[in-house]
A = this chain, B = another copy of it.
Amino acid sequence: MTQPRHLLSITDLGAEGIQDVMRLTDSFVEVSERAIPKVPALRGKTVVSLFFEDSTRTRLSFETAAKRLSADTMNFSVSTSSVKKGESLRDTVETIEAMGVDAMVVRHSGAGVPWQVAAWSRGSSVINAGDGWHEHPTQALLDCYTIRQQRQSLEGLRIAIVGDIRHSRVARSDVLAFSALGASVTLVAPPTLLPPSLAGWPAEVSHDLDEVAPKCDVVYLLRLQRERMQEALLPSLREYTATYGLTRARARLLKDDALIMHPGPVNRGVEIAAEVADRPNSVITRQVANGVAVRMAVLFLLIGSGVDLAVH
């Protein structure tokens, strides 16, 4: 396994790289189940969260992952306003790196910022923890891992991604990862919530969830931001749920073993009926748990001292 320096896009890894991360994740899932779920793999390494956009969940997941690897963690949370000029962001990155940091976990509302940070960094690794509506590679990795855990492989699976594709970095990274691993993806959304162009998205499109649902092995529901209403992209929440929500009635159309997934946090009763979210084939909580192990694998892969996994 080669040791990449950064994880910016899911395409950096390719199918083989994704499989490498999956196998590494198996080891860290096993670590997470131990009585003392901690290994010294990254002792003395420092992982800094550079979050220019609030996301406590993702930050805590990375922080938990780093601590289980015995790394030191630090937070640098900034409102975008105080670093809005390019020079300042560069200065921030160079300063943090000069303190002797090993990895920077970057979340920013601007697409492409993690690439900029990587270009400025001299020795440390950069992990994209979500940039604008662009990419969120560790989310895609944990989604792949969760499906693989339930179905052994994604090869040949049919996966529907439902909802606000246009404003979703999760959708973009998932489509790339799922299709790289051999799944066929259908995007299900109203025209207003699809990107202006779908060139480069290896996916089909449908506007009819009732038609797609019975054929799916996985239904992946995206979070609906309530501001889409104000932007007049949607008539009403109620109509959205009636057409694109996984209601109890619509859930009956699914195959018995179809997996239900969501990146969280769920708007219960909007994207998915509360009762459906709690069914056994809903793996939403498992996605969260796997998120920690996947991020341990990514950190270990990027800044671990060797290819061999010294966790046993």
Contacts and interface: CB of A to CB of B under 8 A. Distances in A.
Contact of A91 (B60, B87, B265, B292): B265
Contact of A76 (B32, B60, B99): B60
Contacts of A269: 87
Contacts of A34: 44
Given A36-B44, A37-B44, A44-B37, A76 B95 contact: no
Interface in A271-294: 274, 285-286, 288-289, 291-292
Interface stretch (A2-10, A61-69, A103-111, A128-136): A61-69
Number of copies of this chain in the oligomer?
3
Given A43-B36, A44-B36, A63 B56 contact: no
Interface string A247-284: 00000000000000000111111000010000000000
Contacts of A87: 266-269, 274
Contact of A67 (B35, B46, B292): B46
Contact of A265 (B56, B95, B264, B288): B95
Interface in A91-133: 91-92, 94-96, 98-100
A305 interface: yes
Given A38-B43, A95-B57, A64 B100 contact: yes
A285 to B, nearest CB: 5
A265 B305 CA distance: 32
A88 interface: yes
Contacts of A305: 35
A32 to B, nearest CB: 6
B99 A288 contact: yes
B99 A64 contact: yes
Nearest to A43: B36
Interface residues of A, number: 45
A264 B48 CA distance: 19
A20 interface: no
Contacts of A26: none
Interface of A: 32, 34-38, 43-44, 46, 48, 56-57, 60-61, 63-64, 67, 72, 74, 76, 78, 87-88, 91-92, 94-96, 98-100, 264-269, 274, 285-286, 288-289, 291-292, 305
* In the complex, the 9 A-B pairs of residues with the closest C-beta atoms, listed nearest first: A36-B44, A98-B288, A38-B44, A87-B268, A91-B265, A67-B72, A98-B289, A98-B285, A64-B99
